[in-house]
Amino acid sequence: MTLKMYNTLTRKKEAFVPIEPGKVKMYACGPTVYNYIHIGNGRPAIFFDVVRRYLEFQGFEVNYVVNFTDVDDKLIRKAEETGSTVPELAETYIQAYYEDVRALGVKEASLNPRVTENMEGIIAFIAELVDKDFAYEKGGDVYYRTAKFADYGKLSHQNLEELQYGIRIDVDERKESPQDFVLWKAAKPGEIYWESPWGQGRPGWHIECSAMVKRYLGETIDIHGGGQDLCFPHHECEIAQTEALTGKPMANYWLHNAFINIDNQKMSKSLGNGILIRDLLKNIRPEVFRFFMLAAHYRNPLNFSDDSVQQAANGLERIQNAYDNLKHRLATASPGPADALVEERAELTRGQFVEKMNDDFNTPDAITAVFDLVAEANLYLQHERVTVGGVQLFLEQLEAFDRVLGILRQGGDELLDEEIEQLIVERTEARKAKNWSRADEIRDLLTGKGIFLEDTPQGIRWRRK
């Protein structure tokens, strides 16, 4: 069975053929770190984590890069409002991002580069575009000349005229064309800046990812992903910049996940209906939210509501109960291998799971295969006599599926109250000492044990879920 994925560039499902056999170069656009991430950010974080996990499940070695935009207008404004600096603000929210996605079961990326660590490469990239006449400088700003790139609009399937209102920055008279977008922005008085051939300034939004993809993964990569909102202008502009520079395709496969609605309304600042991941996890177990995300196809809009989350919780409980019951029964199972029928059922459900995941990462149908396995396991556990081999085979199959989906609690001994209190004290001290890795490790341990932390004016409060 061949893995196929829907390529936004061609608008069709295509068989996946990696550039280098057995290896995958994959990039997903990460957050602009001026605030905590919300559930809209959670969808690409979880989905592309599953893509990466499934590729590894299939035996690929995946080099997965997710960037941080740690300088831009939003960070500058937030730093001014809070009396902080841009680097301090970015560091705070980068560490918060790590905490939140780890709580959601997202595996750490191969690399999380930051814009501020790549300024030399970004400036060199822009300079080469200027040399090639794809960019021009006006008053300390540098703009990309979109009319010179014949394929501009090929990802979003629009022409230049249709795109003229989509550019993220305001139109100004210094541009040769309204569609031209900024590569380098001159710094205003008092703003953070870097020296460049065009004066003091900072990069535009789009150039960052082009430079980091090229540096860390190469001129052409296998998979580039992100939310549907990034298709235009961000990814469209990335393609224009990179392909003008290299003359090669930037990515062979472009994947975009759809939006999340809240109670059938689009999530937006104007409606004030956004939900932060860390607030969400005070009331919902992270694996339930992850299961909820994967219960719909990534290219379909997803509606977040109390009812839909409860349905996810109920469905996940069926899977979790089967897993826990299998582990419990293992202790009293009779010695011996799995019988032929158990092997047949396990192999059948594995084939169904792989078939569905190979069809454009169809997680809802893959979850149906998991439920089929659960039903078979539950029937098996009703037998008066079960074998160690039979129980282990069901367990191994569930755990194999979970290596892709990441939805099961593995269980373990429950922590005592005093142990929890001691770990919280240790985590607080680690954070004061800026030992972020140890602080994250403790939070992950507590989250994995069903212990949720909440910052209050009186200090950290904890509760069991």
Question: For 90-116, how does the pLDDT look when each residue is reduced to its tens digit (9 = 90+)?
Answer: 999 999 999 999 999 999 999 999 999
Q: Are 35 and 78 in contact (CB under 8 A)?
A: yes
Q: What is the pLDDT of residues 235-289, one digit of tens each?
A: 999 999 999 999 999 999 999 999 999 988 877 666 666 899 999 998 899 999 9
Residue span of the structural domain in which 48 resides: 4-257
Looking at 405, 431, 456, the residue that finishes a domain is 405
340 and 393 share one domain: yes
Q: How many CB atoms lie within 10 A of CB 119?
A: 18
Residue 168 lies in a domain: yes
Tell me: is residue 29 an annotated ligand-binding position. yes
Distances (CA, A) of 150 to 146, 160, 207, 211, 343: 8, 10, 19, 21, 56
pLDDT in tens, 146-181: 999 999 999 999 876 665 554 444 556 789 998 999
Which of 257, 289, 316 is the C-terminal boundary of a domain?
257
Q: Which amino acid is at 249?
A: P
The response to whether 238 counts as a known ligand-binding position is yes
Task: Give the count of domains, the chain.
Answer: 3
In a domain, 390, yes or no: yes
Residues 350, 208 within the same domain? no
234 known ligand binder: yes
Is 272 a member of any domain? no
In this structure, the answer to whether residues 366 and 438 fall within a common structural domain is no
First and final C-alpha spacing in the chain: 41
Radius of gyration of the chain (CA): 24
The values of phi and psi at residue 203, to 5°, are -70, 155
- pLDDT given at position 168: 47
Give the pLDDT score at 415.
Answer: 63
Q: Which residue has the higher pLDDT, 407 or 427?
A: 407
Residue 452: the pLDDT is: 77
Q: In this predicted structure, what is the pLDDT of residue 166?
A: 46
**Do 247 and 319 lie in a common domain?**
no
Q: Are residues 118 and 219 in the same domain?
A: yes
**What pTM was computed for the model?**
0.87
Inside any domain, residue 51:
yes
Q: Is residue 293 part of a domain?
A: no
Task: Report yes or no on 283 lying in a domain.
Answer: no
Q: pLDDT, tens digit, for every residue of 367-388?
A: 999 999 999 999 999 999 999 9
Assigned domain for 148 exists:
yes
Same domain, 358 and 445: no
Domain identity same for 132 and 31? yes
State whether 312 and 239 are in the same domain: no
Within-domain flag for 134? yes
Mean of the per-residue pLDDT values of the chain: 92
